[in-house]
Amino acid sequence: MSSLFSALLPPADVAADLAADLAAALGAPEPSPLRWSAPENWHVTLGFYGHSHGADDPVSRSAWLAERLAGRPAIDVRLEKAGTFPGVLWLSVGGTGLTDLAHAAGAGQEDRPYRAHLTLAYFPTEEPEAAHEWVKRLAGFSSRTWTVTEAVLMRGEGGSHYRVIDRYPLNRASER
């Protein structure tokens, strides 16, 4: 089963700093119900287009997304403190214009409001204690601010493996 979604990717240095901070906070390995997401899969979902065996048609979705994102400005974002959804530990993502960009990419078509986040780990919903400990550990976390100059269309393949299949430039301030 696969899925298509649009996303923002953190720059390599932000991902590396976050991975180092998490590794330092983890300390010695101990049993945990948390299943950590691999840094190479970290992303901020803008719009999710569904799960299916054929998923959405990537060619038509790419054309749709290119039209929706054309001329959109680059935005400044940062990763911030942690939170949870049932079964998910995440970092919030702050930035002016992020919600507008997400709505242009199709967010809000689901039955819940858009909340920008980067998934760090999954956990069994009946074992939230370990995730709540991480929410406390990451309460003061904040990455550097970076300028997002492109959105991507991604395909999820087999649960936790993601592949970029198209890119959409966002205008830098000097081009506006």
Please tell me the distance from the alpha carbon of residue 30 to that of residue 130, in angstroms, as a whole number.
11
Q: What is the mean predicted confidence (pLDDT) over 90-109? A: 93
pLDDT tens-digit map of 50-94: 765 444 688 999 999 999 999 999 999 999 999 999 999 999 999
The answer to whether residue 10 scores a pLDDT higher than 70 is yes
In this prediction, residue 29 carries a pLDDT of 57
Question: Which H helix or E strand runs over 14?
Answer: helix 12-26
In this prediction, residue 155 carries a pLDDT of 92
> 174: pLDDT confidence band, cut at 50, 70 and 90?
very low
Q: What is the DSSP string of 94-117?
A: E-TTHHHHHHHTTTTSSSS----E
The residue assigned the tokens 């074992």 is 127
SS3 of residue 4 by DSSP? strand
- List all residues 6 or more positions away from 79 whose beta carbon is below 8 Å from its beta carbon: 10, 14, 18, 91, 92, 93, 118, 141, 142, 143
Range of lowest pLDDT (15-29, 93-107, 128-142): 15-29
Mean pLDDT, the chain, whole residue set: 89
Evaluate whether 64 touches 104 at the Cβ level (below 8 Å): no
In this prediction, residue 108 carries a pLDDT of 78
